[in-house]
Amino acid sequence: MKIHSTDYPYASQRNAIYGTNGMVATSQPLAAQAGIRMLQNGGNAIDAAIATAAALTVVEPTANGIGGDAYALVWIKDKLHGLNASGLSPASINVDVLKEQGLTEMPTYGWTPVTVPGTPSAWVALNERWGKLTLLECLTPAIEYAEKGYPVSPTLAKYWHKAFVKFSQLRNEENGDVYQQWLNTFAPEGRAPKLGEIWRSQGHANTLRAIGESNGEDFYRGEIAKAIAKASKAEGGFICEQDLQEHKVEWVEPVKANYRGYDIWEIPPNGQGMIALMGLNILKQFNAQKHNDADMMHKQIEATKLAFADGLHYITDINAMQVDPQDLLSDAYSQQRAQLITEQAQTHCHGDPKSSGTVYLATADNEGNMVSFIQSNYMGFGSGIVVPGTGIGLQNRGHTFSFDPSHANFLAPKKRTYHTIIPGFISYQGQAIGPFGVMGGFMQPQGHLQVAMNLIDFKLNPQSALDAPRWQWMKGNHVEVEQAMPSHIIHGLLERGHEVTVSPDSGGFGRGQAILRDPGSAVLVGGTEARTDGAVIAF
């Protein structure tokens, strides 16, 4: 992996950033500065990740919040650790109850798809295990942004306006009163904040301060928990105080695929990171050709379709999975799936291995610690539910549950649903190379696969690997590509039977960051995307 390469396509769009003492890469410059502030104040990469994540709930509420979920991969003392801080479904919810309400599937918005928020518990768990600074110190920059305000950036303004239009429409529909608190909190002037306009939220600041001062207790067992439960009960929601009290994070063993000598790591199910690994396992059965090759991209797309066929069928709460995740990652199964790829685009069903809205951030310090962290409310602002007086927008992760009792992701009480957010990490022969991630719903494993291949197969540096034009498989044989995709590739995909749409908006192709360490030195190299308002800050 030539992380210092400059003689490859896309390097001219934005230069990679270099540093040795520490680095933070994320989708908002103000959040990146919050993380760097922790490093400069004597904290480590874990403190920087918490500060950056908390700041993102304030400065990028269009994609995440205190009421969402989080996952982390942490490299510390020559070992990679996994944290699953996704929440369970409420104890009182089930399909029969929802059918009695006239529902035939999980709704997208409102109280019904709200699951227990895990993000604050992720901050607490990371801080208690490895943090050098107090949790309140780590949350202080976010509190200051919320109290004093900050200017709205371009990408933020764009998606905030879209959300305002959506929730304004929902407010005008039957039973739309539940969205009024969202409008009061995020559109107090009767519109979305404009580009460059200062936005602040005292409720958000108060909530963050309470979380920091109580080490998270207030959110799960104190006044905030009572406020969430009270609002839920008043509007016919399912979450109660006991659901919040019983929430616990899980420390998990990360799963990996060895791709051409490099270990690519992901969080195990209920996250969808397995899909990226299954896709890479299929692709390593083929010789990688040059970048910008239509045949190679065809194979990438087909491998992704095969991986999604299995992932969407099998991935759910790991305690409810019908197969062992390692069976899905076995070489024998990968070879079997690879044999299904032909010269033409196809639709694929799942195999049988037994027979054979989101924000991302990366941090690193000068002690060798590195963090890959991701948190989300899902679908932008999530459920559209805001707890009065708190600034807390709640996630709608329960939307991915199924009403089909034969489906692995069948809705049940106290169950984790299929989760789209995934942090990634790369190592080589036991040494950390670094964290990487691409946010954006079902684009995420597709982005992981493309960025990993750009780094490993095509020797692009982190910035070039992120800048390269992307494709996204949508459904069937339908593929969307960015406008920057070379025309000869588009024609090559069409010849192979893909239904190709050139998208005028790059926002749907993910927004990623990466920090890689040169194995031969202490030099850190970081990249972020022009698809977002991101920044890499080093010192």
Could you tell me whether strands 535-538 and 370-376 are parallel, antiparallel, or unpaired per DSSP bridges?
A: unpaired
Largest interatomic CA distance in the chain: 62
pLDDT at 356: 41
**CA neighbours within 13 Å on the CB side: how many for 88?**
22
C-beta separation of 420 from 272 below 8 A: yes
273 neighbors 329 (Cβ within 8 angstroms): no
Residue type, 480: E
Q: Where are the domains of the chain?
A: 13-149+200-538
* 180 within 8 A of 222, measured Cβ to Cβ: no
What is the pLDDT at residue 446?
A: 94
Spatial neighbors of 482 by CB under 8 A, at least 6 apart, are 469, 470, 471, 502, 503, 506, 509
| Calpha distance 202→223 (Å, rounded) | 16
pLDDT (0 to 100) of residue 13: 58
Q: What is the mean pLDDT of the chain?
A: 93
**If residue 143 lies in a helix (H) or strand (E), which one and from where to where?**
helix 135-148
- Tokens representing residue 65 in the block: 């919040």
CATH code assigned to 13-149+200-538? 3.60.20.40
Alpha-carbon span 250 to 71, nearest angstrom: 10
Helices and strands (DSSP H and E) totals, the chain: 18, 21
The pLDDT score that the predictor gives to residue 351 is: 66
Q: How far apart are CA 528 and CA 215, in angstroms?
A: 31
Q: In which residue ranges of the chain is pLDDT below 70? A: 2, 4-13, 289, 351-356
Nearest-angstrom CA–CA distance, 88 and 411: 11
Model-level pTM? 0.93
